[in-house]
Structure 1
Amino acid sequence: MQELQIINEILSAKPNNQTLSSFNKYLNNFYDITKKIAVENERDLVLNLKAIESEMAIIAAYAELFSKHVIAVGGGFSAGKSAFVNSFLKSKDIQLPISIDPTTAIPSYVMSSDKDQIIGISKNNGVANLGKIAPDILSRLTHNADNRLNFSFNLKDILPFLVVSSEFNDPKYQNICFIDTPGYNPNSDGNRAQDFNTAKEFLANSSSLLWLISCDASGGNITESDIKFLNSIGLENKKLYFIITKADKRPKSDLDEVLENLKDTLDMEGIEYEGISLYSSTDIEEYGYHKLSLFDFILSQINNKHSKSQENVMTNLIRVYQSYEKALVKKQDDNDRIFSVLHSITIEMAYIDDEENEEHTFKVDQYAKNLKSIFSSTYSDECKKLLKELTKAFKELKSSIDAIFGAVYDWDADANKITTKDIEQLSDLRKTIDLDGDDDLPKKPKGSTKAIQEANSAVQKTGFFNFEVK
């Protein structure tokens, strides 16, 4: 039974690179520390870490990819991603599956090579030659294949991605590797929900991105869900290029209008891009372009090669690290500011001599002292300790990445540490508190209400709880 042969081949596959075990050890340690830190965009940061984990696994397991420049191919269902990648393959024996509702269940790295191979990279970073077991495995792993391989579990749990190697039809592109990702559209179906996360994971970690839009869908224009998805993966430091696929399906007289509509939408949305191409995967022909032709864009990326891979990985890791670092610095600063305000209240209360409001004054003083015990220097020290642990874990993880690439990436966590001045959202609560009382209420404890209002405002910003004096 082929399913059992494939499972056995995957589970028995051995890693090619021992340095990866060190990377995995330090990545897990980094994961453990970040779990202690609350951040607003935690899900996206975890996906970024997963993307880094996947890319390091593929680099360590299949060293030949290190010599390529990886370009991710993204888009919604039926955007023509697999057909586009196939248009670069010379051999018809190895082709990514295309059907009415094409869905790539497992991401595939497709690279030029003088030999045809379908290699599976296992969850344990082992290298399994799946092509020798099932030459047609690519088509049989899709969700809708007639002769789909049936497993009693999700194969992606043990087979995160594939490496497909075959000769490209033009030797100019031999240093290019495409990532064919699943359609991103979220769906109630469990498989497609996982496809959404997989697409986001791989596309978020790519420096070059081809975004495909079908000419026969939405009039060839980008949809609101496309825009939302692209913004969610972070377009900073990415070379983004748009391809309107299936251009042969529309009259040539319509294509100029299709191109103009997409240009207008991208300009209106403020999306920066390198160019737009009207492309036919069937004819392997570009029917027109804006700014830069598709082929010139791809060739421009070859100069970067995959030596930029280390930079891409580290750029994403630094972004994740600094997000957690920023959260800790802000939390510590919030605590210190609130503690300072509460301390001012207790000092002010000591100067109040108001027998008529003695009970009230005593309660306010106790409230302030109780809150000081919550927003204490101990809490601040815990933040500092966790920040040191985070920085140490980052440095160890960075060193393990440097070891895999065999080169030290020039970035110093200590020299680039985030300070409170870098956090624009912090309110300036360190200004001297105005202790002037209200002339109309001479019997009211001077300054106490204003000081407590300051403290209440500070507490609200941290999201702990509110307090008030009636």
Structure 2
Amino acid sequence: MNEESICSGQDGQCFGLPDTASFRFLRTILPPFRRLGDGYNSLLDSYRDVKKRVGLLSQQQEDLESQIRDKCEAINKLQCRYDATLLEKHRLEQDMEGLVAQQKALSAQREQLQSEKQGLLAENDALFTDKKDLQQRYDLVSRAISARGDATPKYQALSDILENEFLPFANSISVLKGEADAIIRMRGAVDQLRVIESMARFMDKTVVALSGGFSSGKSSFINSMLSGNTIKLPVGLERMTAIPAYVGHGEETRILGYSVNGGVVEIPAHLYSRLSHAYVKAFDFNLRDLLPYVAIETPLRDLANISFIDLPGYDPGASDAYTDSDDLAASEFLEQAHALIWVIGLDSNGTLPRSDIEFLVDHADRVERLYVVVNKADLRPEADRSGVMEEVRDNLELFGIDYEGICVYSSERSKEFDYLGDSLMETLSKWNSQHNSLAEIIAEIDAVFELYYQAFDEEVERRNTMYGHTHNLELDLLEIGAFNEGSNNQSLSEMLRMYSGQSSRSKPAYSPNDKRQGLDEESRDEKIDNIKSYISELKVAYSVESVEAQKNYAKSIHKRMLAIL
């Protein structure tokens, strides 16, 4: 009998069993057993389910382990790849560092090459500029050499007499103390003839020389007198004026260079603006020997009858740029000038330097009229200007230098601020008049020859005096019987001692052959013969015939020069 046939109902009560103790006990324990069975079955089912799940989990575990193994392998592979990537990264970083260093080196090399390129470009530009300058110099020199203008017959004839007769004659005599100045004056007169014949526009103008220290503003002063901006004289801090330049009024602007051959060459404005001392020095020869001067025609403000001469700056003690040829050029051109404007720069001096005073004193005989311009007045306060003028005035008066006026002036503003004596504009207006240049050349030649005539007359007078002394000496010797045979007296002995150098009395000023030496060793007769010979030589030496002949020859030169003019 099974449990189902014994028990029934929901509460597990058993029916159909005898009501005995055993059966009661059995009825008592059967439900729990039943529940245990159910629980067992449930547990068995759970076990089976768990086992199944465990199997599934085991399978999943195996799958997961397989996946893990796969993942580990993948991770290992990835780790290997990662390690390889790290190595590659490290290698790439090293390569990158190398590339960066190489890039820096290339950049530095590029900058160096760029710098070298810029240097080469600059050098190329400099070479091109040098080539252009050299070509311009070559063209200028070539044109100056090849330019051979036909000198006028008047100038050529006068120049021939100067070079072939006057100069050899002047160099062969020594009667004139200031002979060098006389030669300069004569050269200046002949050169002036060439100027007025070759530059007709400058012929009858008042010639005003501009001079002064280096960088005092001479060229800028002339620029301030120009009407318009067609051309400007070169200005700058360096030594600019290298070749004297005539600047006169003309309706049209042009620059002409006058060669030593008598020819004329046109100079472009841009080239003339560069003719500084440094530029001319690059020629390796004195360009002024080839182009002694230039002439600039351009409109001037109300100064139609004035011709300025822009001279090289003067300052021999402060610059090696000043040469002997500069001083000679200044002297020669001052001979042609009717007036001189001396320029002082307020930026560099502010007063009249010692070198300026020396120049004005040395050339006082060549300066007819003097005006002093204290330039660059805009660089000084207004309160200082009058003091500067008064100091310049005191220096001029101290050294006895005549002047017509002093002014403070600004070339930059073309303005006269103040003045002492005559104003600048009044003076220029007074000077703005025509001159008979040919008559002035004749007067200058006359003046030079008059110096020689005066010197000849003085020499004749001196020789006549000395000839008279010599003749008196001869008479004295005859009176005491010095030349009589057998004469022997104290007076003769005294004279012999005098002419033998034993006397304390002074020796004669002139001794052609110095025959007094060694008289003590000679016999008395020989001494007498020497005295006679000496007196004869003195009489010949003090003869005026040679001086008269020289004066007559000078007169013939003078006459022929005037005949040409």
Aligning the two structures, in what range does the TM-score lie when normalised by the shorter sequence?
Answer: 0.7 to 0.9
Query: Which has the higher mean CA deviation after the structures are superposed, 173-182 or 334-343?
Result: 334-343
Matched, 1:390 2:554: yes
Structure 1 residues 312, 79: CA separation in 2 closer, same or farther (over 3 Å shift)? farther
Kindly name which structure, 1 or 2, has the bigger radius of gyration based on alpha carbons.
Answer: 2
Counterpart Cα distance in 1 of 2:182 and 2:321: 22
Among 489, 498, 519, the alignment partner of 1:356 is 489
Structure 1 residues 94, 36: CA separation in 2 closer, same or farther (over 3 Å shift)? same
Structure 1 residues 396, 312: CA separation in 2 closer, same or farther (over 3 Å shift)? same
Matched, 1:35 2:166: no
Counterpart Cα distance in 2 of 1:336 and 1:376: 11
Counterpart Cα distance in 1 of 2:366 and 2:180: 18
TM-superposed CA distance for 1:368, in Å, is 6.1
TM-superposed CA distance for 1:190, in Å, is 7.2
Matched, 1:95 2:227: no
Asked whether the 8 Å contact 2:340–2:369 carries over to 1, the reply is yes
| SS, match of residue 74 in structure 1 | strand
- Equivalent residue, structure 2, for 1:179: 309
Among 272, 278, 293, the alignment partner of 2:423 is 293
Matched, 1:239 2:365: no
Structure 1 residues 358, 109: CA separation in 2 closer, same or farther (over 3 Å shift)? closer
TM-superposed CA distance for 1:100, in Å, is 0.6
Structure 1 residues 375, 247: CA separation in 2 closer, same or farther (over 3 Å shift)? farther
The number of residues matched between the two structures is 391
Asked whether the 8 Å contact 1:346–1:369 carries over to 2, the reply is no
- 1:281-320 matches, cutoff 5 A: 281-303=411-433, 305-307=434-436, 309-320=437-448
Asked whether the 8 Å contact 1:107–1:181 carries over to 2, the reply is yes
- Aligned AA (1:217): S
- Aligned AA (2:410): S
TM-superposed CA distance for 1:44, in Å, is 2.0
Counterpart Cα distance in 2 of 1:234 and 1:30: 25
Among 442, 464, 475, the alignment partner of 1:336 is 464
How big is each residue's C-alpha offset from its partner over 1:108-127, in whole Å with a ceiling of 9 and x where there is no partner?
Answer: 00011111111011112222
Counterpart Cα distance in 2 of 1:274 and 1:191: 28
Structure 1 residues 122, 181: CA separation in 2 closer, same or farther (over 3 Å shift)? same
The TM-score with structure 2 as length reference comes to: 0.65
Matched, 1:26 2:161: yes
Counterpart Cα distance in 2 of 1:2 and 1:149: 14
Counterpart Cα distance in 2 of 1:3 and 1:165: 23
The TM-score with structure 1 as length reference comes to: 0.77
- Identity in percent: 28
How big is each residue's C-alpha offset from its partner over 1:312-345, in whole Å with a ceiling of 9 and x where there is no partner?
Answer: 4334333322222233222232222112111111
Query: Which has the higher mean CA deviation after the structures are superposed, 291-300 or 311-320?
Result: 311-320
Counterpart Cα distance in 1 of 2:254 and 2:323: 27
- Aligned AA (1:334): R
- 1:218-233 matches, cutoff 5 A: 218-219=349-350, 221-233=351-363
TM-superposed CA distance for 1:251, in Å, is 0.3
How big is each residue's C-alpha offset from its partner over 1:377-405, in whole Å with a ceiling of 9 and x where there is no partner?
Answer: 784211111111111111222232x3xxx
Asked whether the 8 Å contact 2:466–2:542 carries over to 1, the reply is no
Matched, 1:136 2:265: no
- Equivalent residue, structure 2, for 1:57: 194
Counterpart Cα distance in 1 of 2:362 and 2:559: 27
- Aligned AA (2:266): N
Pick the structure with more helix per residue: 2
RMSD: 2.4
Counterpart Cα distance in 2 of 1:275 and 1:358: 68
Counterpart Cα distance in 2 of 1:62 and 1:4: 25
- Equivalent residue, structure 1, for 2:290: 158
- Structure 1 segments of 4 or more deviating over 6 A? none
Asked whether the 8 Å contact 2:189–2:335 carries over to 1, the reply is no
How big is each residue's C-alpha offset from its partner over 1:266-320, in whole Å with a ceiling of 9 and x where there is no partner?
Answer: 22222211111111000000001111111111111123x132x234433433332
How big is each residue's C-alpha offset from its partner over 1:140-170, in whole Å with a ceiling of 9 and x where there is no partner?
Answer: 221134xx684242111111000011122x2
Asked whether the 8 Å contact 1:15–1:61 carries over to 2, the reply is no
Counterpart Cα distance in 1 of 2:341 and 2:367: 14
